[in-house]
Amino acid sequence: METPLTTTPPLPVARATWALIRFRPGYFLANLTGRVYFLAMRLLPGLLLQQFLDRLAGAAPATASLWTLLALLLAIEASRLAANLLGDWGGASVRNANGVLLRANIVGNILHRPGALPQPVPPGDAITRLDDDAADFADFPTWLPELAGHLLFTLVAFIIMWRINPAITLVTTLPLLGVAFLNRFAWQRFLRYYHASRQADSAVTGFLGELLGTVQAVKVADAEADALHYFRHLNEERRRRNVRHNLFYAVFNSAADNLGDVAVAIMVLLSAQALQAGTFTVGDFALFTSYLFFAARFPADIGSFLSEIAQQRVSLDRMQAMQPEARPESLVQPQPIDAAPPPAGARPPIPLDTLTVTGLTYHHQPGSHGSSPPAGISQINLTIRRGSFTVITGRVGAGKTTLLRTLLGLLPPAGGEIRWNDQRVADPASFFGPPHSAYTPQVPRLFSESLQENILLGLAAADVDLPAAIHTAVLEPDIAALEQGLDTVVGPRGVRLSGGQVQRAAAARMFVRQPALLVFDDLSSALDVETEQTLWQRLLGEEGQPTILAVSHRRPALMRADQIIVLQDGRVAATGTLTELLATSPEMQALWHGDLVEG
């Protein structure tokens, strides 16, 4: 279940963080201003307390009354409270905006991949990465204001304390050296342990996602006990790796914290000696105590920040692995995240006159050009004219589905050219979609929503001719038999519908968008002969017959086709009408008279 990291050069943590800061600079500025003011203003109460105590002890002239001191302290704390609220608001806004941006970019890059390529990580693992890893890195910029405020406080506090007593102040710098040593020792282990922990999390969620999607197969194989045993094994491995990572992290932070406590203890002992020697006042002691309990924690903050950088390196790599073909910088590419999306089908259609394919090639395995037969398709030439019905047929494994997927950009072509009305289609994946074309694969995907929502997929019912699409797809009898008609929830992947109903619902989804080109991959494979006849009759008998490209081996489709393209071993074996091919093509004759043709 281990998922290798992407081989693409990684995006540096610093560059990615800077990109997120610039994405919503106003939010970050609010977070920075609030946190720096809140932390740095801790200096004033210490100074006020020093002056007040020295005045009481007679070591300094009277400057302000007790009530004045209390009023000043109250005003300072009230302003710090307001600054803290501003910083928290800015931090929450930074986290939310960055999280949306990261997830939008990842999902966008995934959707721009060729659709038929397998996803680089299992669905369950992808959810974990989109949730945890994106959230972790989205939050990382908020560490900087916290660290900046603590750094400013510590530097100014050191200057003030150095002017009072350099020897005691010097003690507080020792933890910095200790944390630097600890970090040098721990850095690679942080990376290794955190990556192993996240991989174990991904293994559990990935297997869980696969298990929930294949419950029926597990039950049919009577493999419930084995599946649960493996699931327990993955959870035990996750527990072991997480415990190791969390324990190492806790020990590191505890060591850094304890170094600060040691510095405070030494400061108290040295201060006692200085008080006895008369070189240190009660006010000085109060100021040192007020400052050191916070300043001595700064080395621990540095250690936590450095360990956080190591974790962000892992999070960035895991997110990049979800989009291996995309540029690393695209992960943090700014884009509008609060603008309304353009309405579906908003781009102006280009009417189809002629679709021409020349030399289209795709091989499933690199270097398979010399194989016999090739794994994919090679040098496919075809022409489709407006209003025609073209059927691609051939034996199992001839390359029919691969041809459709390569034409539509769902697989990246290795060569060839596609022209729409003599204009070259540079990016088939972006071009071949509504309103230019619509596609139904062999196994259509429905969502666990109502049947109507599965057909419309975001379109407004008032803007389309839904009844006409349902009629063309021969869905009226099925909808009438459903308990809630079009409002019936079909379940995950349409499990409440038959295979034929799923295919015709997907077909209605195409028809309602009225594209220039309809592309079917074995649409009628799950239909009975009568329903199939009715579907083709309604589709081909409409006024202004649509242009259709379909993969089929069924006789009703072949008999109605204006053009049949016979594939054999990934190449075009013959092209023509059914009558012509039955007279001239041995492959078509074998298909027509053999067991491969149904109906």
Residues 6+ apart with CB under 8 A from 88: 34
Predicted confidence band of residue 64 (pLDDT cuts 50, 70, 90): low
Specify the domain boundaries for CATH 1.20.1560.10 within the chain: 13-331
10 vs 76, 144, 324, 328, CA distance in Å? 45, 22, 11, 7
So what's the pLDDT on residue 339?
65
pLDDT at 1: 39
Position 216 pLDDT exceeds 80 = no
Rounded CA-CA distance 393/587 in Å is: 10
The CATH code for residues 13-331 is 1.20.1560.10
Mean pLDDT over the full length of the chain: 85
* Whether the predicted pLDDT of 510 surpasses 90: yes
**pLDDT at 300 exceeding the cut of 90:** no
Percent of the chain with pLDDT over 90: 43
Length of the chain as a residue count: 599
Residue with tokens 């006895």: 276
Cα 439 → chain centroid = 25
- In Å, what is the CA distance from 208 to each residue of 5, 38, 124, 494? 21, 45, 7, 21
Q: How does pLDDT run across 129-170, given as a tens digit for each residue? A: 999 899 999 999 999 999 999 999 989 988 998 888 888 888
Which structure tokens are listed for 469? Answer: 């699409």
Give residue for tokens 């109903």. 501
DSSP string over 196-262: HHHHHHHHHHHHHHHHHHTHHHHHHTT-HHHHHHHHHHHHHHHHHHHHHHHHHHHHHHHHHHHHHHH
Structure tokens at 19: 């990109």
Q: What is the pLDDT of residues 349-383, one digit of tens each?
A: 889 999 999 999 999 865 444 444 457 999 999 99
What's the CATH architecture for 349-436+517-524+544-599?
A: 3-Layer(aba) Sandwich (3.40)
Kindly report the number of other CB atoms within 10 A of residue 594's CB atom: 10
Element holding 547 (H helix, E strand): strand 547-551
Residues 3, 201 contacting (CB under 8 angstroms): no
pLDDT at 248: 84
Amino acid at site 261 = D
524, pLDDT greater than 50: yes
SS3 521: strand
Q: Is pLDDT at 286 greater than 90 in this prediction?
A: no
* Residue 280 banded pLDDT, cuts 50, 70, 90: confident
Distance CA 449, CA 453 (A): 6
- Asked whether the beta carbons of 31 and 90 are under 8 A apart, the reply is yes
pLDDT of residue 367: 46
pLDDT of residue 219: 74
Q: How is domain 442-514 classified at the architecture level of CATH?
A: 3-Layer(aba) Sandwich (3.40)
DSSP bridge partners of 371: none
| Nearest by Cα to 437 from 343, 377, 521 | 521
pLDDT score for 59: 56
Give ranges for CATH 3.40.50.300 in the chain. Answer: 349-436+517-524+544-599, 442-514
- Residue 295 in tokens: 């300043």
In tens, the pLDDT along 430-450 reads 899 888 999 999 888 888 899
